[in-house]
Chains A and B, each alone.
Chain A
Amino acid sequence: MGGLAQWSWTLDGWIIVAGMLCAAATALLGNFLVLRKMSMLGDAITHAILPGLAAAFLISDSRSSLPMFVGAVIAGILTALFTEWIRGFGKVDEGASMGVVFTSLFALGLVMIVQAADRVDLDPGCVLYGAIELTPADTVLIAGWEIPRVVFVLSIVLLINLLFVILFLKELKLSSFDPALATTTGFNATFIHYALMTLVAITAVASFEAVGNILVVAMFVVPPAAAYMLTDRLGVMLILSVLLAMFSAIIGHISAITVPYWFGFQSTSTAGMMAVAAGLLFIIAALFSPRHGVVIVFLRRQFLAWQILADDIVALMYRIEERDPELRPDAFYLRDILFSRPLPTSLTLGYLVRHSQLVHANGTYTLTDTGRDRARQLVRSHRLWEHYLVEHAGMSTETIHRQAEQLEHFTDRELRDRLNADTLDTDQDPHGRPIPPEEHAP
């Protein structure tokens, strides 16, 4: 029997809605935490609100929601404040000051709670798991609809966060990317900072109560980080992160109720699986993002390396023809000069032969006309650059070769023409070698 067989819209539906709302609200603010390199703040705040809860309980002597909520939010804001103070006044590194603050507050909270309840062995774990599974059990009546209280609260939080981000998008952007400029252009970067911190605390507390801290910490960091891998634009990043967060909430819950059944267990922690789902989405984004993905970047580098090797081979063949037309180089000879490894060299040679830039016969290689054209342009670029570097950049003839070697691969026709104009149409490079003409002489 699979977990989905027990699917119920009133239960699972509401759990997923609560997860999505929490994920969206946290991910939205998380973008700015990631951009400001404060990703750990969510974790710190969710741990540090314990004394706030305890203090609210001790002061109000009640278990009602509101004082607890206020106490927790105040503790959350204090975490951000104290971290900032210790960093500023004490000149302690940001990570360390955060570590000092939240662990201290957490310890203080433990002591306070134990004081409140005599001789209770306290397990911090159960504070942290949260209980998103209990979402449907606690409902409120809103406009005739019976909806879970958690869903109601999280909708309001999401709405506030959305308003904040939309209203202050420009300020948030500027103060995240360039706080110094933000301050000099006149608006108050400090205000934005603390407004953001307050909202982070409120969001953390509201979600924490509903879904546990794992999900909060995960959604603050993981979807924005994934979105950051996918785009360079802040607006796109915001939207992507929210979509990814909501998507991971859906997959998370579905896998929480299905995957354990495959191994003969019952369902597992939804919040935990939502975090895992977000992690998987992050891995996919980090590996396969079209611009910044690890795989794509690696492949792009490989292709570039091969292309440069191909360039080097034809250019070397051209130079060999130029100096010693009788010499018929083989693969070993080429490798010896280019210091290249066997496999990439033979692959590249094969590629060049297939694209009829080289002819392979009796183990030796010769340039075709196409290949010679390509090689001539490269050698021309190289020697033009050498000339330019000596004439205009004041470099000595001994050092220019390496520089020109790099530049030649990225020089197109237009740039060559400009270089040519700059070098007054000379036909010799600084080493005394002829600069080949642009077009093949008939």
Chain B
Amino acid sequence: MSLSARMLILLLMLSPGPVLLAAEGKSIQTQRSITDRSIEWPAWEDWRRVFFMQDYNTRVVILGTTLLGMSAGMIGSFALLRKRALMGDALSHATLPGIAIAFIIGSTLGLNGKSLPLLLTGAAISGLLGIAGILMIRNLTRLKEDAALGIVLSVFFGAGIALLNIVQQMQTGHAAGLESFIYGKTASMIASDAWLIGGAGLSCVLVALLLYKELTLLCFDEGFADSRGFPVVLLDTLLMGLVVIVTIIGLQAVGLILMISLLVIPPAAARFWTEKMLWLTVVAVVLGALSGMIGSGMSAIFPNLPSGAMIVLVATAMFLFSMIFGVPRGILVRKYRRYELNTKVNRQHLLRGLYEYLEAHQQLPIGVTDSAPPVSLSALEQLRSWSLPALKKIIRSAQDERLVTLLSDNRVQLTLSGLKEAARVVHEHRLWELYLITYADVASSKVDQDADAIEHVLEPEVIAELESLLVRQSTEGILQSPHDIDLPQSLSAPTFRRTN
């Protein structure tokens, strides 16, 4: 960790005071650069070098982060579906005391306290203890998952900080750089780090692929998996173990906090593009790989951009894009579908309103080619709680479909195809009402509302089934309404009251 960074942060963290004043002297060198915010546009040569990965260092870093993004995307997909997105957060914090203790033990025994396998072992053990803590709090107490995560995260991290503080006072080992191991510096990644990431990441991916079916079942239906004799607890622990391993190998590359984002963001983004587990993992792996590649590439081109943070921001950009434009679950697609449905529902309400009005006034045309008599807008307006502008908009949309004609004297007339469509809609509405009355014991005075909400989304197969279920009633074309149609009193003709 560089001293100037600490100075800068302390400066940024405000306030005059003796300690900060002491820092003032050294901060003067960074003073100029603080106000210098220009980003130099790199030359073509730089682009080419990065693009074709000509530098050894760039090659290593890009390869390493890409592999990391892939394995995190894969493992993260399961974690996301298991609603364990923040588990990585808690776990990465929980590794800290293990790292410190491993260092203390290592250097007390006269070993190299900073040997990577030793520290990783410590990190893994303490991460697993963290998992055990989370599972125990969740299963044995009345606290929920979020509290369990928060408790383990903060207490382990606190213990880790306290231990690190002691580590720094140790005479035997050389602790400097231990923190940079924890917080990671992507740019200084060396080949062996990339190999470690690649090896560990690939083994995680392999394990996940071998147990793909089991893990998928675990994510979607734990109870079912349990009842089918799958070792649920073992699988769960295994999944968490995979999260721990990926988190630990990522610590060095992108740092503690940013590692979580690689586990969370690509799968969350992939979720907008698919409903299928397999595609979710594939898309998450691709997005993770792209984030690693583009992020570290950009960082290599623009020396001002820290690679870990850039990887995350690239992932975030992909997430935002997916959230807005994703098919089938993105915001725009869902909004559009909702709009379509609303238009359809309104149109069907209009048609049914017209039909039932004509029916109530016994003005329905008898022959197939006869045209229906027009209905005034003001009469229509009272059928439902339509405002006049809303009604006009609905009529216009129906007119575009050639279902109705708006006459010049503010009256609406069903066209021939409109009449046919209206008859169909009314028929389906009543079929559903009958079904509700016959099979769902809904009171006939209430049935209209229930059917109203549901009739628009009926599939043809459902209609056919309803027809066959209720075949007795549906022999004579359009069904009779099973209840009095509640037209405003002033509109009802005296002949209207039906007695069925």
Contact = CB atoms under 8 A, between A and B. Distances in A.
Interface stretch (A35-43, A160-168, A236-244, A335-343): A35-43
B17 A124 contact: no
Interface string B99-117: 0000000000000000000
A68 B12 contact: yes
Interface of B: 1-2, 4-6, 8-19, 30, 33-37, 39, 80, 83-86, 88-89, 137, 140-147, 149-151, 153-155, 157-166, 169-170, 179-180, 182-183, 185, 255-258, 260-261, 263-265, 267-268, 271-272, 303-306, 308-313, 315-316, 319, 323, 329, 331
Contacts of B255: 124
A103 B257 contact: yes
A276 B11 CA distance: 29
B179 A125 contact: yes
A222 B85 CA distance: 21
Contact of A265 (B169, B271, B310): B169
A39 B158 contact: no
B161 A269 contact: yes
A39 B160 contact: no
Contacts of A97: 268
Minimum-distance CB pairs A-B, first 3: A275-B158, A279-B155, A103-B261
A100 B321 CA distance: 13
Contact of B158 (A65, A90, A273): A273
A81 to B, nearest CB: 15
A294 to B, nearest CB: 5
Given A120-B2, A276-B162, A137 B17 contact: yes
Contact of A39 (B80, B147, B271, B303): B147
A113 interface: yes
Contacts of B160: 272
B323 A90 contact: yes
Nearest to B267: A96
A362 interface: no
A266 B153 CA distance: 25
Contact of B155 (A99, A119, A256, A278): A278
B266 to A, nearest CB: 10
A106 interface: yes
A404 interface: no
B1 A90 contact: no
Nearest to B329: A91
B13 A127 contact: yes
Interface in A226-280: 228-229, 256, 260, 263, 265-266, 268-269, 271-276, 278-279
A140 to B, nearest CB: 10
Interface of A: 34, 37-40, 42-43, 47, 53-54, 57-58, 61, 63-65, 68-69, 86, 89-93, 95-100, 103-104, 106-108, 110-111, 113-127, 129, 131, 134, 137-138, 149, 209, 214-215, 217-218, 220-222, 225, 228-229, 256, 260, 263, 265-266, 268-269, 271-276, 278-279, 282, 286, 292, 294
B5 to A, nearest CB: 5
Nearest to B87: A95
B157 A214 contact: yes
A218 B154 contact: yes
B17 A64 contact: no
B150 A221 contact: yes
B329 to A, nearest CB: 7
A271 B5 contact: no
B2 A121 contact: yes
Q: Which residue of B8, B19, B162, B311 has the most chain A CB atoms within 10 A of its CB atom?
A: B162
A266 to B, nearest CB: 6
Given A119-B304, A123-B180, A65 B19 contact: no
B179 A123 contact: yes
9 contacts: A43-B154, A106-B258, A123-B5, A137-B17, A138-B15, A209-B13, A260-B169, A278-B158, A279-B155
